[in-house]
Each structure stands twice: as C-alpha cells, then as structure tokens.
C-alpha cells in the first residue's frame, strides 16, 4: 500500500511538468482546440472519459507545445478528459479537466 501512495505522489508531482494548464478554445459548438505546454519535450495523448470515450494522440513525437483539434462534439455537453505524458521512461496521467461546448 505504501508503494502505491508513493507512486501516486510521484505521478502528481511529475504531472506538474505541464507548464500551462490546458486552454480550451471553442471553434464552433462541435469543435474545440486544446493546447498546453510542457517543461520538456514529451509525447502526449488526451483521453476523454465523459461526453465521449476516446483517446487522441496529441504529440506522437516529443515536443514542448501541444495542440489538439477535437471535432464531432455535441453542443451544450460537458466533457471530461485527462492528459497522459510519455516521458520515455514512464507514462504520467494528470488530474481530470472539464469543459462544456457552447
């Protein structure tokens, strides 16, 4: 059990590798752009867990600035997602983020 707690704390600390919180920019009622920056070049994915269940590859090659266009959303719907950061050594998951389409 102690090992799990330690691992969770480590994951939370390393998730601070995200320099800027994700910025969600509505393009239309059915499309948004999600952008964020990381301290080091890393590969990232975004996994939606509410509103739609889907995983998007954001940065297949390591980079600092990450941008994802999400289309086919439903107007007036709340979406919940988390970011996975692949450091090359391990994958770190952030806490959940939310947005609601206009």
pLDDT over 80 (residue 65) = yes
Q: State mean pLDDT over 69-79.
A: 95
pLDDT in tens, 3-43: 444 444 444 445 557 888 899 999 999 999 999 999 999 99
Residue 73: how many CA atoms within 13 Å on its side-chain side? 24
Q: What percent of the chain has pLDDT over 70?
A: 84
Give pTM, 2 decimals: 0.82
Q: Residue 68: its pLDDT value, please?
A: 98
Q: For each of the domains in the chain, give its residue range(s) and CATH number, in order of start.
A: 2-100 (2.60.40.10)
Residue 24: how many CA atoms within 13 Å on its side-chain side? 20
């Amino acid at each position: 059990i102690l090992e799990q707690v330690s691992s969770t704390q480590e994951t939370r600390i390393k998730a601070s590798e995200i320099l800027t919180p994700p910025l969600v920019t509505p393009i239309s009622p059915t499309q948004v752009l999600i952008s964020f920056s990381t301290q080091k070049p890393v590969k990232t994915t975004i996994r939606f867990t509410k509103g739609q269940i889907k995983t998007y590859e954001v940065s297949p090659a390591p980079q600092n600035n990450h941008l994802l266009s999400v289309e086919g959303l439903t107007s007036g719907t709340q979406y919940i997602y988390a970011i996975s950061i692949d450091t090359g050594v391990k994958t770190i998951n952030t806490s959940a983020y939310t947005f609601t389409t206009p």
